[in-house]
Amino acid sequence: MLYQLYETQRALMAPFSEFASATAKLYNHPLSPFSQMPMAQRVSAGFDLAHRLAKEYEKPEFGIRGVVVNGVEVAVQEQVPITKPFCRLLRFKRFSDNPAVLDVMKNQPTVLVVAPLSGHHSTLLRDTVKTLLRDHKVLVTDWTDARTVPVDAGPFHLDDYVAYVQEFIRFVGPEVNVISVCQPTVPVLAAVSLLATHGEFTPRTLTMMGGPIDARKSPTAVNNLATNKSYEWFENNVIYRVPSNFPGSGRRVYPGFLQHTGFVAMNPDRHMSAHYDYFLDLIRGDDDSTEQHRQFYDEYNAVLDMPAEYYLETIKKVFQEFALVNGTWDVNGTLVRPQDITTSALLTVEGELDDISGWGQTKAAHDLCTGIPADRRFHYDVQGAGHYGIFAGRRWRDMAYPQVRDFILRYNPVTVTAQPTTRMAIPADAMAAPMQTNAQAAVPAPRRAARKASPAVVTAAVASAAEPAAAPAPRRSAKPRQG
């Protein structure tokens, strides 16, 4: 019933949103006589803000039309090699008429980026994908809004997520390098583990960034919500059926609007400050700042519904039973055994100030992947980075990406033109031992900053009190910048 009430309210607000947009333009357009009235800029700014608060936000596009490879601008086209009911596999195909650049691109490693299914669309990884395209062939999982999937397509379970990842890995082939960002670190590790158990090829490299491999580490109030509330509480309080005005009518989902409410509730003061700053920037005519605000909130406010089965099973298996680390996760009759992975190389990446995936949660993968030799396991802390900063923005491009790029290059026997980096990630030689210092490490390592234990992971597991895996704070300094 709550979903239907929300849709009714949205329908009632739609005309007001359009009216507010038209009025804002009426008081701002240089040819309009209303723009010459006293306080016209303030009136226009107020109606513009009202329009953005009331409007519906559609799924954004990746919008990557070109990228620089080897110093030359090349065209980029989205292709869809695989379409599943709940996900599309997108390929960002690069084109150039420069023979030298074509030769470089042909020999660059192939990367499969597994995006989170945790509230926001895969386009939140736009900066991640655009940066990777400089030195890699890139494919990315583009998850479907569950309210658009008809009921007769069947349910979508956490085990189905694992099966999707396995299918995509098989499609790309043995040369694939997998990068998982936040929530998918758990099902990706499960998918690769099962491939190894069944004697199939595994990716050349696994890069796991800011995910809840072991959600018991660095717990916070957010993590406690998932552990202190029962499975039945989540099922009874946050699961609703899609209304009749969508293709997925009748499907049980965790609605996007509930997730968005939880996102905002995590830091209401910061969101209010961001909107007030936007209002002032409109009055001052600061076009750059207002456009940054629009771009950020166009992405931040665009949310999707998650299938109820997947959401509830994530809570149970990842955040309540800790099935992966306890060795009790059974997928279609086979136990998930990360220790069976022997040929892939592993890099884990964490943000020093990450308040979504707590310190040590991603690094816990090294304790599970004992079959991978120690000299093929690495860990890197992104100094000064929050959760969003490890895969988007300046710290991603300047600090995390060089580590990821060089790590992938190291285990791909191809000729690639790559920019040099000043340091490599930290070898994860005995993860139970203290982290090595620069003098002790086999490869130069960044300094560790003294810090408190970071808050725990939220991703797809926590109900309306959880900040999304990819939602940065709305401070101006944290707004995403294009690569």
Q: Which of 25, 56, 87 is the last residue of a domain?
A: 56
Distance CA 83, CA 232 (A): 33
Q: What is the DSSP track for 172-201?
A: H-TTEEEEEESTTHHHHHHHHHHHHHTT--
Please indicate, yes or no, whether the overall pTM of this predicted structure exceeds 0.75.
Answer: yes
Residue 130 pLDDT exceeds 60: yes
Rounded to an integer, the average pLDDT of 301-307 is 95
For 428-482, how does the pLDDT look when each residue is reduced to its tens digit (9 = 90+)?
A: 443 333 333 232 333 333 333 333 333 333 333 343 333 343 334 444 433 333 3
- Do both 429 and 390 map to the same domain? yes
What is the structure's pLDDT at 411?
Answer: 96
- Do both 42 and 111 map to the same domain? no
Band the pLDDT of 220: cuts 50, 70, 90. low
- Do both 117 and 52 map to the same domain? no
What is the structure's pLDDT at 115?
Answer: 97
- Do both 43 and 94 map to the same domain? no
- Do both 21 and 164 map to the same domain? no
- Do both 208 and 338 map to the same domain? yes
**The CA-based dihedral angle spanning residues 196, 201, 203, 204, taken in that order and rounded to the nearest 10 degrees:** 110
State the DSSP H helix or E strand holding residue 33, giving kind and residue range, or none if neither: none
Average pLDDT, the chain: 86
Distance CA 282, CA 210 (A): 35
- The answer to whether residue 361 is domain-embedded is yes
For 461, the domain range is 66-234+304-478
Band the pLDDT of 228: cuts 50, 70, 90. confident
- Do both 44 and 83 map to the same domain? no
- The answer to whether residue 38 is domain-embedded is yes
- The answer to whether residue 353 is domain-embedded is yes
- Do both 37 and 70 map to the same domain? no
Residue 54 pLDDT exceeds 80: yes
Query: With contact defined as beta carbons under 8 Å apart, do 88 and 80 qualify?
Result: yes
Residue 226 pLDDT exceeds 90: no
Distance CA 215, CA 319 (A): 6
- Do both 388 and 422 map to the same domain? yes
- Do both 45 and 86 map to the same domain? no
- Do both 38 and 74 map to the same domain? no
- Do both 391 and 434 map to the same domain? yes
Residue 208, SS3 per DSSP: strand
Distance CA 80, CA 283 (A): 43
What is the structure's pLDDT at 418?
Answer: 43
Question: What is the number of structural domains in the chain?
Answer: 2
Residue 380, SS3 per DSSP: strand
